């Protein structure tokens, strides 16, 4: 069994590679990654002898053809993933998140790929003040990032209907955990607090996110890959809905820093107020998150404290 992991040098991808090595040692893993600013070989340092690594772009059909050769399964993590960057450079997002997904799907339908899992996001539903989005809710993305992710997953679903490719999609909520690039909320706040610098919080800090530990997401992705049916779209949430300000206060508490470090900054344009998922479908498949938010956040803070070398040169 051979599996292609695109974007495997990024945050969720590298955690998923480790999850596979621990839980499915019989699978041969090929990682295809362009190594953008967010993808780093250091993220795969401890597993480099257990995988085949190919540096390349998912938008390059020749590279994709070579990487997919002999693969039974594909999990597409590769993406431009940061909402703020999508506001200043949307073209990069359309290119990788839409065209890149297309290139992978095209090659998959021409080869022997038996399962194709497209990693999408809860951001495709847009924002809600109350209630939770189910897999049947309409897609109403707000940013060039979420719109591009919606484009990628819609193409993936069209390949299931048009060509009979066995495509599945997961839409997870915000992930946190080790190896997350220090532009995302939690690592930014941890590093600022460690340096005794102001912690920037958009608007009034009341925006709500449902935080999912990356290892819980890896177990969910694995389950969908094993038990999902062709065409399945599956939400992965955690029931850990908290405001950004609460996250900042928890981090300051763990690091014994004063709350006076919190600094409110001008809100992001089109900033979604709240994401919330109904994840009954994956619950019925036998999955539930194992990590409680406080425990997961504390271990993540500990990871950044212990791995200063990993982030020091980045910010």
Ligand X SMILES: NC(=O)c1ccc[n+]([C@@H]2O[C@H](COP(=O)([O-])OP(=O)(O)OC[C@H]3O[C@@H](n4cnc5c(N)ncnc54)[C@H](O)[C@@H]3O)[C@@H](O)[C@H]2O)c1
Report, as residue numbers or ranges, the catalytic residues: 122-123, 145
Q: Report, in Å, the least distance between residue 182 CB and ligand X.
A: 11
Which position among 18, 19, 115, 149 is part of the footprint of ligand X (CB under 6 A)?
A: 149
Which among 251, 264, 277, 275 has a CA at the least distance from the CA of 186?
Answer: 251
Would you list the DSSP string of 26-90?
Answer: TSEEEEEE---TT--GGGGGGGGGGEEEEE--TT-HHHHHHHHTT-SEEEE------HHHHHH-H
Show the site string, 24-63: x = touches ligand X by CB under 6 A, - = not: ---------xxxx-xx-----------------xxx----
Question: What is the number of alpha carbons within 13 Å of residue 111 lying toward its C-beta?
Answer: 22
Which position among 174, 244, 276, 300 is part of the footprint of ligand X (CB under 6 A)?
A: 174
Q: Report, in Å, the least distance between residue 179 CB and ligand X.
A: 8
73 binds ligand X (CB under 6 A): no
Q: Report, in Å, the least distance between residue 11 CB and ligand X.
A: 4
13 binds ligand X (CB under 6 A): yes
11 binds ligand X (CB under 6 A): yes
Q: Report, in Å, the least distance between residue 28 CB and ligand X.
A: 19
201 binds ligand X (CB under 6 A): no
Would you list the DSSP string of 195-216?
Answer: TT--EEEETTS--EEE-EEHHH
What's the DSSP call for residue 261?
G
Of residues 104-143, those binding ligand X (CB under 6 A): 119, 121
- Residue 87 or residue 198: which is nearer to ligand X going by CB? 87
Please identify, among the stretches 104-112, 170-178, 200-208, 287-295, the one whose residues bind ligand X according to the rule CB under 6 A. Answer: 170-178
Look at residue 168 and give its three-state secondary structure.
Answer: strand
81 binds ligand X (CB under 6 A): yes
- Residue 83 or residue 113: which is nearer to ligand X going by CB? 83
- Residue 32 or residue 262: which is nearer to ligand X going by CB? 32
d(Cα 183, Cα 311) in Å, to the nearest integer?
Answer: 11
Segment (H or E) for 233: strand 233-236
Question: What is the number of alpha carbons within 13 Å of residue 281 lying toward its C-beta?
Answer: 22
Q: Report, in Å, the least distance between residue 126 CB and ligand X.
A: 14
228 binds ligand X (CB under 6 A): no
Q: Dihedral through CA 289, CA 292, CA 297, CA 299, nearest 10? A: -90
232 binds ligand X (CB under 6 A): no
The dihedral sign for the CA sequence 244, 77, 216, 117: positive
Which tokens belong to 201? Answer: 């919080």
The residues that touch ligand X, with contacts defined as CB under 6 A, are 6-7, 9-13, 33-36, 38-39, 57-59, 77-81, 96, 100, 119, 121, 149, 172, 174-175, 181
């Amino acid at each position: 069994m051979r599996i292609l992991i695109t974007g495997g040098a990024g945050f969720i991808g590298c955690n998923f590679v480790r999850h596979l090595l621990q839980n499915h040692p019989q699978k041969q893993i090929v990682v295809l990654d362009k190594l953008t600013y967010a993808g780093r070989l250091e993220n795969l340092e401890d597993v480099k002898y257990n995988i085949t690594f190919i540096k390349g772009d998912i938008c390059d059909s020749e590279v994709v053809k070579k990487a997919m050769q002999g693969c039974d399964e594909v999990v597409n993590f590769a993406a431009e993933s940061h909402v703020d960057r999508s506001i200043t450079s949307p073209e990069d997002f359309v290119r990788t998140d839409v065209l890149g997904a297309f290139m992978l799907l095209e090659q998959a339908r021409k080869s022997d790929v038996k399962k194709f899992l497209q990693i999408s996001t809860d951001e495709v539903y847009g924002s809600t003040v109350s209630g939770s989005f189910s897999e049947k809710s309409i897609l109403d993305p707000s940013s060039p990032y979420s719109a591009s992710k919606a484009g990628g997953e819609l193409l993936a679903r069209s390949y299931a209907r048009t060509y009979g490719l066995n495509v599945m999609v997961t839409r997870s909520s915000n992930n946190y955990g080790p190896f997350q690039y220090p532009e995302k909320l939690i690592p930014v706040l941890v590093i600022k607090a460690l340096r005794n610098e102001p912690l920037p919080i958009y608007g009034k800090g009341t925006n709500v996110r449902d935080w999912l530990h990356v290892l819980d997401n890896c177990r969910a992705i694995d389950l969908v890959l094993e038990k999902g049916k062709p065409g399945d779209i599956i939400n992965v949430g955690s029931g850990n809905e908290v405001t950004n300000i609460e996250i900042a206060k928890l981090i300051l508490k763990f690091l014994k820093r004063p709350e006076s470090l919190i600094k409110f900054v001008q809100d992001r344009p089109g900033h979604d107020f709240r994401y919330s998922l109904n994840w009954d479908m994956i619950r019925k498949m036998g999955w539930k998150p194992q990590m409680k938010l406080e425990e997961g956040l504390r271990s993540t803070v500990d990871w950044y404290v212990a791995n200063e070398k990993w982030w020091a040169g980045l910010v």
